[in-house]
Amino acid sequence: MIRLLWGLLFSLLSVSVPSLAPGTASGLAQSQAQPSPVLKAMDLELSRSIDALRQADPPAYFVSYTVTDQTAVTVEGSNGALLESDQQHNRVLETQVRVGSYDLDSTHNIGDRDMSQSSDLSMLPLDNDIPALRRSIWLSTDTQYRRAAAAYIRVKTSSQVQVQNAETQAPDFSHEKPVTDYLPLDSFQVDRTPWEERVRRYTAAFSASPAITNSIATFTANSTNQFFASSEGTREQFGQIRYRLELYVQGKAPDGMDLERYANFDWVDPAKAPSDADVMAQVHQLVDQMQALQKAPVVEPFAGPALLSGRAAAVFFHEVLGHRLEGFRQKQLTEGQTFTNKVGQAIMPSFLSVSDDPTLKQINGQSLLGFYPFDDEGVPAKDVTLVKNGVLENFLMSRSPLPGFPNSNGHGRRQLGYQPIARMGNTIVRSSKGVPFAELRKMLIDMIRQQGKPYGLLIDDISGGFTITGRAQPQAFQVEPLIVYKVFPDGRPDELVRGVNIVGTPLTSLTKIVATGDRDSVFDGYCVDESGAVPVSAAAPAMLFSEIEVAKKETSTDKPPILPPPAHDPKEPEPRGVKPTPWGQLR
């Protein structure tokens, strides 16, 4: 099962690219970047290793080194108090050794068992001491060669007795043109003190409402410099700085259902950090929505017309289409391979086109988490048209080829500690049938009447979702909305409901789209699957469906807390003569 998350509210060993503080940081970009001593150490050891390993038995034909140097700042507060304020700096090496040949090597899947997607990490010295760096790289190379050699023997034995199909007989690794590109590296200095005060203040404002059982505000700033060298001749370095502020609140309905609301701000320029006024406006909106959700009825299972906001539609396409167009899923016998043999066929309405473009840094002024200049196999990021006018044209490709798709298109991605596979970056849905939202809503009401339904649904915001692509289970998806309204055909006001999950299967659901809005909305989050958690973005206009099926959300049987939050207990002694400030007075 693959899951898309709104954000990472837990720690990951990853080069995640969250986001910084006003006036506290600056990227140290150089007009003419020079190769780092780190890259020089990688180059020297690579030249020495590949010459020896090509003569070994069995011979290695490919070696690559990826070094990730990351400085990460985290400031987190909860319920008016500081939970964490920390800065860490580490430098990590990942070594890949492939034994065999481009056609058949040590990474080949054996039968219906997928090869391990994990990779070993080696901590490197933080000093740019070339002899010390080379020593660590040398030891890692020796370890990885021995493992690859043992794996290759198992692959050779298995390939002689296992049934093969066209996809599994495709080469294991693609030939790619070497790239040399030394982009500027990045660095920052972050003053955590202002953010410590801000996360206290934001979460204190949440706690002023009795509807909130818990609140968390997290500020993260990451400076990531990545270095890549391969035996094919590729040499790359680049830096990225990203900043993120996440707001998360929890509540509980009277029937025990857990309620959640989220919001996030992402930026790359410290001068464009969100203002206090912007953040506090979001805080008030989240609290108002939480209070309304506690009173809202639970929706019953339903199938009928629905209007998805742009953010909800973006997640819909990520789950329903995006994962099933990842190249490696067309190759694995355990996968459902929904679209493997549908290239050149219409799979959705002709007014829709879909691309994935990791080269985009922003849309409509909003930073995109899925931006990167090179993927984690050293291939330059590319804008890939996946669906054009409803017709499937392409797959997201890493360096694992498919019949008819012999090369990578720059989408090999991974979290630290995993092997790169084909993954989404910035998934963009475009429409030639866009209309203003007011007209789209009118079309929804007309459709409700035509179908004789008592109501339709307006799905305004989501937390994420997940999808199942393995053939051992139903080829289904689930998108998890947070704000859903019933829309009535007789003019009654919309009614907020809760406990809704959008469910369905891809081949049917994609054909139910009848019109779209004329403005894009963006969802930024983290996608978790076989190669770990990677930052992604999806953009889409609002979409009208002739039919969407919704099911009841899983709920808890635990009742709400017996007592109200301490500050809202009328019997609670007033600390130091100060009365708690009611939620309404904070506004």
Round to whole Å and give the CA distance between 370 and 358. Answer: 6
CA-nearest of 112, 85, 91, 97 to 37 is: 91
- One-letter amino acid of 451: Q
| Mean pLDDT calculated for residue range 41-60 | 96
pLDDT at position 159 is 62
pLDDT in tens, 457-486: 999 988 777 777 777 676 778 888 889 999
Within 13 Å, how many C-alpha atoms sit on residue 555's CB side? Answer: 18
420, 412 contact by CB (below 8 A): yes
The DSSP secondary-structure symbol of 478 reads E
pLDDT in tens, 417-465: 999 999 999 999 999 999 999 999 999 999 999 999 999 999 998 877 7
Residue 492: pLDDT band with limits 50, 70, 90:
very high
Residue 506: pLDDT band with limits 50, 70, 90:
confident
Round to whole Å and give the CA distance between 230 and 222. Answer: 26
The DSSP secondary-structure symbol of 584 reads G
Residue 575: pLDDT band with limits 50, 70, 90:
low
Look at domain 14-295 and name its CATH class. Answer: alpha beta
pLDDT in tens, 219-260: 999 999 999 999 999 999 999 999 999 999 999 999 999 999
CATH 3.30.2290.10 range(s) for the chain read 14-295
Angle between helical axes of 37-53 and 130-159 (0-180°, round to 10): 40
Secondary structure element (H or E) that encloses residue 49, with its range: helix 37-53
- Tell whether the model's pLDDT for residue 274 goes beyond 80: yes
Q: E-assigned strands of 46-80?
A: 60-78
pLDDT at position 24 is 33
pLDDT at position 581 is 52
Q: Would you call 322 helix, strand, or coil by DSSP?
A: helix
How does 68-106 read in b/e, with b if 16+ C-beta sit within 10 Å? bbbbbbbbbbbbbebbebeeeeebbbbbbbbbbeeebbb
The DSSP secondary-structure symbol of 298 reads B
pLDDT in tens, 533-542: 999 999 999 9
pLDDT in tens, 383-413: 999 999 999 999 999 999 999 999 999 999 9
Angle between helical axes of 276-295 and 192-207 (0-180°, round to 10): 30
Tracing tokens 């080696």 back to the chain, one arrives at 122
The DSSP secondary-structure symbol of 242 reads E
Compute, in degrees rounded to 10, the torsion defined by CA atoms 566, 247, 467, 523.
Answer: 150
Round to whole Å and give the CA distance between 236 and 265. Answer: 30
- Tell whether the model's pLDDT for residue 304 goes beyond 90: yes
Within 13 Å, how many C-alpha atoms sit on residue 449's CB side? Answer: 9
% of the chain exceeding 70 in pLDDT: 88
Secondary structure element (H or E) that encloses residue 526, with its range: strand 513-529
Residue 4: pLDDT band with limits 50, 70, 90:
low
Residue 13: pLDDT band with limits 50, 70, 90:
very low
CA-nearest of 216, 264, 211, 202 to 462 is: 264
Could you tell me whether strands 60-78 and 214-230 are parallel, antiparallel, or unpaired per DSSP bridges? antiparallel
Residue 112: pLDDT band with limits 50, 70, 90:
low
Residue 334 backbone class (left: φ over 0; alpha: ψ -120 to 50; beta: rest):
alpha
**Other CB atoms within 10 A of residue 418 CB:** 23
Token output for 463: 């937390």
How does 474-492 read in b/e, with b if 16+ C-beta sit within 10 Å? ebbbbbbbbbbbbbbbeee
pLDDT in tens, 522-564: 999 889 988 999 999 999 999 999 999 999 887 777 778 888 8
